[in-house]
Chain A
Amino acid sequence: MPLLSVRNLNVEYRLPDLKIAVKALKGVSMDINKGEIVSIVGESGSGKSTLALAIMRMLKPPAVIKGGNVYYNGVDLLSLSEHEFNLKYKWVKVSMVPQASQNIFNPTMRVKDHFLDTARAHGISDEADVLKRASEVLEFTKLDPARVFNLYPHQLSGGMKQRVAIALSLLLNPELVIMDEPTAALDVVTQMEILKLVKMINEELGTTIIFITHDISIVPMVASRVVVLYNGEVMEIGPTEDVIIDPKHPYTKALVQSTPSLSSSPEEVRPIPGEPPNPLEDIQGCPFWPRCQYAMDVCKVEKPREYNINGRVVRCHLYGK
């Protein structure tokens, strides 16, 4: 049984002014196995953060879950009472490094107090215990607790803030950590260090990790499997190597081609044609067809179903026959 199993998840943002609902997730299904790092990759607006927040039950109005299940070890997290979820799952089993963690800290609180505050929110009040555990996780993220405990957020560099945010997510020793763009806003050198840290957490602590990013070029450095999201729908799921060497879905192909490398000829590198979809417009058929060079008539009317090709999930009509 997978550790986490998302089934047919639908999320809408209701915009009362416009009298419409924006569909942010449309029937997303994916499995996360214990001990792996899975990367969720997609452009902004593809639903990556909505998916993370839905799993954490942290979506706020106007977002509404319109159906689907999130099974954790067989228990549907969405059917639990809020009290039970907070007590038994949130941060205890599943925690999160939120997006833009540069800005998640309370500027008036020292690093130490962020750890105490998090523990208190989960009913743990023994300060000495919490600080001992906090020291452990900070050391693990290669920070010196004695030094950073008393610092305010503005005294930390971008890379250090990211490490503290990761340490906070590990405080209660969760089995699964969802990291939302943990390397955004970091330069390549710091990014490399954070990627190494993510791998180390996975290998040494055995933590399962969902790694969300818009940048497919960093995916092979951390993840063994990748889920490609586009406009709230899964386009492709598969082992990282297979997906990058031989992308099956035209969108994945375009994503790989838009990534420059230090040796590619400039002609090889191409932007994805067209513009990202407007979330207010409902696209008939496959959401990628307006930008797809392989688009056929069927793509414009009918949503492709899921095809299984050598252990890969691909939703594209090209594989229909």
Chain B
Amino acid sequence: MGSDEYLVELRDVCVYFTERVGLFGKRVTKALDHVNLGIRDNDVIAVVGESGAGKTTMGRVILGLQRPTSGLALFKGKDIYSLKGREFEEFRRSVQWVPQDPYSSLDPSLTVGEQLMAPIRRWNSKVNAEAKAEELLRLVGLVPPSFYMNKYPHQLSGGQRQRVAIARSLASNPRLIVADEPVTMIDSSLRIGFINTFIELMRRSSLSLVFITHDLALARVLLLKSGRGRVVILRNGRIVEEGDINEIISNPKDEYTKILINAAPDLKRWLKNREESV
């Protein structure tokens, strides 16, 4: 398979962080260790692992924010980290991210409309930024858009802020979004709303998604609802398992995957175990 079939490809990517210890010592942290990953158009990839597994580092490599120590990160077959000029511009436009925490990633001094119109103008000076911003708000389910355009982030609920962050990532009409699922501050009841928004977006337009989470159950809902894609289990910077989510949950090959499955809070399993023990 030619690598140009991939929108983004990681080829044997390593990211090592070197830390000085004492005067002469060094400690090397392998955030990513020989990772291979291919992302096509309309792909959905759920990256699951515990904190420190390298999930966010992987996202940053894909986004062009973290140069690999060795290996290649490719956008349409070309090394992301040596793209220049128009090609780099195209990469930036095509690959966007939704950061972890919508409480700190939105500018508190800008209205929702302003947060959206700035990147819209940046990417397309000819378009009517206001109309486009309203269209994006509608896309993420913030209706009527006029109600939200003049609001400041602090006037919105956590779930609404998340949707503004998603809308903002869509301003450049990207082909791939890397979404880092928030682990803190966000109510668990909002997580389903967060992924439903992505499902709806992918239904309407051609979009690939890399969804970073530590929650296997949430990854499963995302993959089943979108009807495609796969899960990637990361541990200590390595991909230990990759494939169909139901297959991996029912038949985990790696010990670590089993640990993740057992640690996942699961009301249904709890009920079942309880019935069996009665």
Contacts and interface: CB of A to CB of B under 8 A. Distances in A.
Interface of A: 43-44, 158, 184-192, 214-218, 220-221, 241, 244-245, 254-256, 258-266, 269-272, 275-276, 278
B265 A188 contact: yes
A124 B270 CA distance: 44
B224 A43 contact: no
A278 B154 CA distance: 11
A280 to B, nearest CB: 10
A271 B183 CA distance: 17
Contact of A259 (B160, B261, B263, B267): B267
B265 A264 contact: no
B268 interface: yes
Interface in B263-278: 263-271, 274
Contact of A258 (B192, B224, B263, B264): B192
B108 interface: no
A181 to B, nearest CB: 9
A275 B187 CA distance: 12
23 contacts: A44-B158, A184-B185, A185-B184, A186-B183, A187-B51, A188-B50, A188-B216, A188-B260, A188-B265, A189-B260, A215-B265, A216-B267, A244-B267, A260-B221, A261-B267, A262-B266, A262-B269, A264-B221, A266-B224, A270-B192, A271-B192, A271-B196, A276-B158
Instruction: List 5 tightest A-B contacts by C-beta distance, closest first.
Output: A217-B265, A261-B268, A271-B193, A187-B50, A192-B263
Contacts of A191: 263, 265
A271 B266 CA distance: 16
A275 B218 contact: no
Nearest to A191: B263
A269 B221 contact: yes
Nearest to A221: B265
B159 A187 contact: no
B140 to A, nearest CB: 14
A261 B217 contact: yes
A269 B263 contact: no
A104 to B, nearest CB: 15
Contacts of A254: 189
Query: Which of A43, A158, A260 has the most CB atoms of chain B within a 10 A radius of its CB?
Result: A260
B221 A256 contact: no
Contact of A221 (B188, B218, B270): B270
A258 B188 contact: yes
A255 to B, nearest CB: 6
B28 interface: no
B187 A44 contact: yes
Interface string B41-72: 00000000011000000000000000000000
B154 to A, nearest CB: 11
A187 B214 contact: yes
Interface in B220-264: 220-221, 224-225, 249, 259-264
A43 B215 CA distance: 19
Given A44-B187, A190-B50, A215-B188, A263 B274 contact: no
B43 to A, nearest CB: 19
A182 B156 CA distance: 26
Nearest to B220: A262
A185 B183 contact: yes
A215 B218 CA distance: 13
B110 interface: no
Given A185-B184, A218-B265, A241-B274, A43 B50 contact: no
A59 to B, nearest CB: 21
Given A188-B216, A260-B192, A275-B157, 13 more contacts: A184-B183, A188-B214, A192-B262, A221-B265, A244-B267, A255-B189, A262-B216, A262-B261, A262-B264, A265-B224, A269-B221, A271-B190, A276-B157
Nearest to B217: A260
Contacts of A189: 50, 259-260, 263
